[in-house]
Structure 1
Amino acid sequence: MKKWRFLPYKKYQGAYNMAIDEAIMEAMREKTVEPTIRFYGWMPTTLSIGYFQRVEEEIDLQQLKRQQIDLVRRMTGGRAVLHDQELTYSIIMPENYPGLPHTISESYRILSTGLLLGYKKLGIDAELAKPSRKKEPILSAACFDQPSDYELIVGGKKMAGSAQLRQRGVVLQHGSILVHFNKDKLRSLLKHRNDQQLKVHFANHASAINERCDHPRSFQEIQHAFHQGFSEALQDELSREELTLKEKKRVEALAREKYTMDTWNFKR
């Protein structure tokens, strides 16, 4: 098994977070870095949207402006995620990594093991959502509307939302681990005809760490639990490292030329 690089938690603007993930993918493709796990946060609060989402049809841009919330489009698919009180992770690795299944669904099962162990260490009895051919109707543009195959759930409620991209031999999986879920804030940012229906739907389909613990957990405890979870799942100590100088330069270029541009964020 290969050694893993761990990039410890830092907060960045949304454009930089997406640029960092893409820069690591490029470095991985060039075989200049090890498989990487990164923990990060968002400053300011940001709404990230999936690659295929139509912003003006699904997102209330006036509310984003009013609440001073940034917007960024991800490389990955899926639906909108409010990055507020949460821990975001990304896993970046070669597509031919030993033991990694070829299908996205099955690789979710493998890569989500670290998340599962992290929840267990917090005393939360999480499980992986089983694949199902019968899906409920999608009611909103939000990621936490319902779980996908092998995402983390507790009592049927989604605890972590993830998305995966495979591009030119490299796999990126990143996702949001909810510490607290502000359902009202997320709901206010989405265009939806029946606000009350959406409120009930979120309450029945999503949950967060501090709703499931017997006492509120500190952010340090949460980071430590998931660091241990991934370390055990990957059988590696996950030593702390930094981006390389080349990666940092590429991040600046991607943030400036892609992820801060309306041509990217409003492309659909």
Structure 2
Amino acid sequence: MVRVGVVGYGHLGQYMVKQIMDHPDLELAWVWNRSDIKGKVADHLILKDLNSCGDGNPDVIVEVAHPDISKQYGQLFLKHADYLMGSPTGLADRETEEKLKSAATQHGVYVPAGAFWGGEDIRKMSERGSLKGLTVTMKKHPSSFKLSGQLEELNKTVADKAVELYRGPVRGLCPLAPNNVNTMAAGAVAASNLGFDNTVGVLVSDPGLIDWHIVEVEVLGPPGPAGNQFTVRTQRMNPAAPGAVTGSATYASFFSSLLRVGGKGAGFHLC
């Protein structure tokens, strides 16, 4: 029986708690939330202080709250359990990335693949040194973005046609769109030889995408004898309600990632 602690009780957190409680091989150790959840979760399962995350002896701690959780508590979580990061955009912060790398010695940091298609193949290419380029493009309706800074202002100007809000290193994009680009962060983790600085993220605000979130992945490998380059392109169309930050298929995918946590030891793992 795998005991799971859940950090966050929003839409995804509520889904995860229900799935954990219904699964024969999982047991809920505790739930923590920033606001009061008394009456929503049994009193004995509510964790009041994340500094007490070892209570209930969790095997896995799942974060579905905010990237800052990893910065503040990630090292502590890894002293007690494997850690599944629901907000891997937090790894774009260099200090957080380095701290978790150094702390993941006994337990591992797991990053859900989510909407990132082909992650295992990209990981294999990265480990062989044959991955030469990775670009992840995310296209959503303007109302589906939660942005800050100049991207927020630019998104407000989108009217009747698609606008490219950003193109550049994923590390620079994550702090501006932490709720929207976890898929890109997963890509940067899979492409370990490229990382957050050399994985390219493209964010497109498209008013025509009322019912969909689209993720496009372009992978570049080594050039062939004639100079032509190995290339793979995929497009994932995820059904999503208007204004939804997370597509409907992502919930089930995230729970599937939880079922794959464990047994891989130290370091960072895509799941």
**TM more than 0.5:** no
Q: TM-score, normalised by structure 1?
A: 0.33
Higher alpha-carbon Rg:
2
Q: Which one has the bigger strand percentage?
A: 2
Higher relative contact order (CA 8 A, sep 6+): 1
Q: TM-score, normalised by structure 2?
A: 0.32
